[in-house]
Amino acid sequence: MKLAREGIPVTWELYSGFRSNQSFWDQYPSSGAVFLKADGSAYELGDTWIQADLAATLELIQDQGRDGFYKGKNAKMLADFMRANGGIITEEDLEKYEAVEREPVRGTYRGYEIVSMPPPSSGGVVIIEMLNILEGYDLASYGHNSAQYLHLLTESMRRSYADRAEYLGDPDFNESMPLDRLMDKDYAATLRASIDMDKASVSDENEYAGIYESEETTHYSVVDKDGNMVSVTYTLENGYGSRIVAEGAGYLLNNEMGDFNAVPGVTNRNGQIGTTPNLIEPEKRMLSSMSPTIVARDGKPVFAVGSPGGRTIINTTAQAILNLIDFDMNIAESVEAPRIHHQWLPDVTSFEGLGFSDDTLRLYEEKGHQVRARGEQGSVMGVYHDRDSDLFLGAADSRAGDGAVVGY
């Protein structure tokens, strides 16, 4: 509330985001009232950005808890705004909504405990499945980001993302999700047995695929003086969500509905998916890829990581974990190391542009993989507790414009 009421400086990241969305601020007066100055001009670098309406909404939540948002003044403002602009959310919808607290999923990897986000996020299940597959290989002997390591990493991604598409969705609507099997070591062994060490598998578009998922998300990790850790990922879907601010309330509306499967039964090589677990239904929560993860040893947290990046979040987080455990990197090295992404379909591996040698790419492609270059993938935020020295370490990915490590 203090930051919203008294204001924060407009950084280059905010300045760029405001400018790139100028057409939306002009289109939606309620958004322009927040992201433009009172006279309608654009904020400049270094200006103070004050969000008085947001501060008032936060104060309602502070004073009234859940009901400060889902009932009363805010609920009426939001429902009135929806009604005036062709939306369908009502005060009754808001009053019925309940946040659900779920048990995290848990796995193990080389003596470490992996604790991560459960469905309706796919992140934790897929990370644990991938790590179970890779645990059967001496990854360190291949060398970090060698062609052989990247081949095995890709094949584990391919199989785990296929299972993601077939099985995962809102647990309240998919009671028979085989989570225990997907995270089982024996099941991973059967998948591992199907991997050819020298040849890429083929992704079949007649089976499963992956829909587009925006890469604009936020993650932060926290450790306190006693070694307790929190790993938090949250999202509006696209950058600035729908770009529409609820009038008088000060917050952006999301556009998460795009994370549901669009057309029942229609799955194609372009990435559209029509499998049943994530089809849209009333009161159903959409499948996400958020993967806030805590890695523990002997029952105590060692490090916490996570990342934005839409569908790439899972692979970005998994690679940070592998960097720390298999390749003995420190938290900063694990966060900065170049990354790849494969998600079953489309059947192509994206590589961060400058992070891999031509020789590595050539050897990788010779195994039958298709490759494309991409820009930055994700932005990992991690904290690490070195229990031997009792040092607390943090790393903010340089890929994140306003990322930072801060101690209090």
**Is-contact 341 266, C-beta < 8 A?**
no
Contact 301/295 with Cβ under 8 angstroms?
A: yes
**Cβ-contact 256, 286 below 8 angstroms:** yes
As a whole number of Å, the CA-based R_g of the chain is 22
Q: Give CA–CA dist 293/33, Å, rounded.
A: 37
Q: Which residues are catalytic?
A: 217
At 93, list the tokens: 């919808």
Strand 229-234 and strand 218-223: pairing?
A: antiparallel
Secondary structure of the chain in the HEC alphabet?
CHHHHHCEECCHHHHHHHHHCHHHHHHCHHHHHHHECCCCCECCCCCEECCHHHHHHHHHHHHHCCHHHHCHHHHHHHHHHHHHCCCCCCHHHHHHCCCCCCCCEEEEECCEEEEECCCCECHHHHHHHHHHHHCCCCHHHHCCCCHHHHHHHHHHHHHHHHHHHHHCCCCCCCCCCCHHHHCCHHHHHHHHHCCECCECCCCCCCCCCCCCCCCCCEEEEEECCCCCEEEEEECCCCCCCCCCECCCCCCECCCHHHHCECCCCCCCCCCCCCCHHHECCCCCCCCECCCCEEEEECCEEEEEECCCCHHHHHHHHHHHHHHHHCCCCCHHHHHHCCCEECCCCCCCEEEECCCCCHHHHHHHHHCCCCEEEECCCCCCEEEEEECCCCEEEEEECCCCCCCCCCCC
